[in-house]
Amino acid sequence: MFINDLKAEVIRAVDLQERSLIQLSRKIHDHPEMSFQEEKAAAWLSDYLQDGGFLLERGIAGLPTAFRATYGQGEPRIALLAEYDALPGMGHACGHNLIAAAAVGAGMAGKLIVDSFGGSLVVLGTPGEESFGGKIDMVEKGIFDDVDVVMMVHPATRNATKIQALACSSLDINFWGRASHAAACPQRGINALEALILSFNSINSLRQHIDEGARIHGIITSGGEAPNIVPAHSAASFMVRARDDVYLEELKMMVLNCFRGASQATGARLEYGWGDKSYSAMKNNPAMANLFQRNLESLGRSIEISAPLFVGSTDMGNVSQAVPSIHPCIAIAPDEISLHTPEFASATDSEEGYKGMMDAARLMAMTAADIFGDPEILREIKREFSHS
């Protein structure tokens, strides 16, 4: 009974922040900043928490726009994650403005929980999710080493307590050939663009023989200077994704062989480089997801699908491999609207978007109350994590 009363109090504490959270989210939405350039958003969020009594550390893990805000001391230690970078050309078409405001709103309301049970509540500002995987750096620098559980909530077109996020690596390709007049003496040229086209065709053939759920996609970033010149250089950027980290490594070699074969066939010299970071697959924690679902249903929302919601790839996958985590989703737009579109960017600054943001804050605070309030729940979360 005490937990239910406490949940009612934290819901009220979230509700009292509604106007401030909407203003904060709208400011971030109206001033989109690219990965690792989120100076305004990081300052607004961390100032909000510091003014609310959190101890602030800025520029953690060597990332100038990352921060850690802590309330309380000792264990358990629950972390809520804020994302706040935008997409090039589309602004907040992934809803990070809502994610950020929900996290700080839940953190402020969660002070009531810490005051009741002890322990620590941490809000982590995690920059660069869209492009460079800031959370990967934070995992490697030990930011999550003393954290017991991690939560964040992402806006989407459906409510979901579990997500499927694929392991992912990026690949940059350059082919170097030899220029020549395309009509007068094409035989003297080595066509770097043809090498790239052959590579695309090989990858299209490879798709018939890869595991279900794997993805390979890319774009040509350079294809020549003029149609009457045999292209001496071509370039492309690719992403390779798989259901788990082990198969990702196998798939990367299969994809690379497509480019190597095209190099041999055309005589164009291949240069390639894998990205410095790889995104890991998401490891959902069932015990935490079940807690979150019960709280979600208590707010009148329902889960339309039982299978994990597919979201592509996220650096939250790397966090989930290191510490028990959930990355649930809250519906803010119709199912026919896709993330990373102008339509979804509009939804993240709408009445429905802010309803989702407020519910996300309530749900994280309620789930934190469950975990703080019953040590056996945390033990079960950790058991599931160690055996999965």
Q: What is the pLDDT of residues 96-128, one digit of tens each?
A: 999 999 999 999 999 999 999 999 999 999 999
Strands 154-156 vs 329-331: parallel, antiparallel or unpaired: parallel
Residues spanned by CATH 3.30.70.360 within the chain?
167-278
Average pLDDT (67-95) is: 97
Task: Give the integer Cα–Cα distance in Å for 186 and 325.
Answer: 57
pLDDT attached to residue 143? 98
Question: What pLDDT does 196 receive?
Answer: 98
User: Which segments of the chain belong to CATH 3.40.630.10?
Assistant: 2-165+281-387
In the structure, what pLDDT confidence band is assigned to residue 312 with cuts at 50, 70 and 90? confident
pLDDT interval class at 132 (50, 70, 90)? confident
pLDDT in tens, 330-340: 999 999 999 99
CA 275 to chain centre: 17
Write out pLDDT tens, residues 269-297: 999 999 989 999 999 999 999 999 999 99
* pLDDT at residue 45, rounded to an integer: 98
pLDDT of 213 above 70: yes
pTM for this prediction: 0.91
pLDDT of residue 131: 82
Contacts for 177 with CB less than 8 Å, ≥ 6 apart: 189, 190, 191, 192, 195, 230, 231, 232, 233, 234, 266, 267, 268, 269
pLDDT at residue 310, as a whole number: 82
What pLDDT score does 106 carry? 98
173 close to 238: Cβ distance less than 8 angstroms: yes
Superfamily covering domain 2-165+281-387: Zn peptidases (3.40.630.10)
Q: Give the pLDDT band of residue 1 (cuts 50, 70, 90).
A: low
Please provide the CATH number assigned to the domain covering 167-278.
3.30.70.360
Question: Given a cut of 70, is residue 363 above it in pLDDT?
Answer: yes
Tens-digit pLDDT profile for residues 24-62 = 999 999 999 999 999 999 999 999 999 999 999 999 999
**CB 169 within 8 Å of CB 225:** no
Q: What's residue 333's pLDDT?
A: 97
Dist. CA 385–CA 321, nearest whole Å: 9
The token pair at 165 is 């996020």
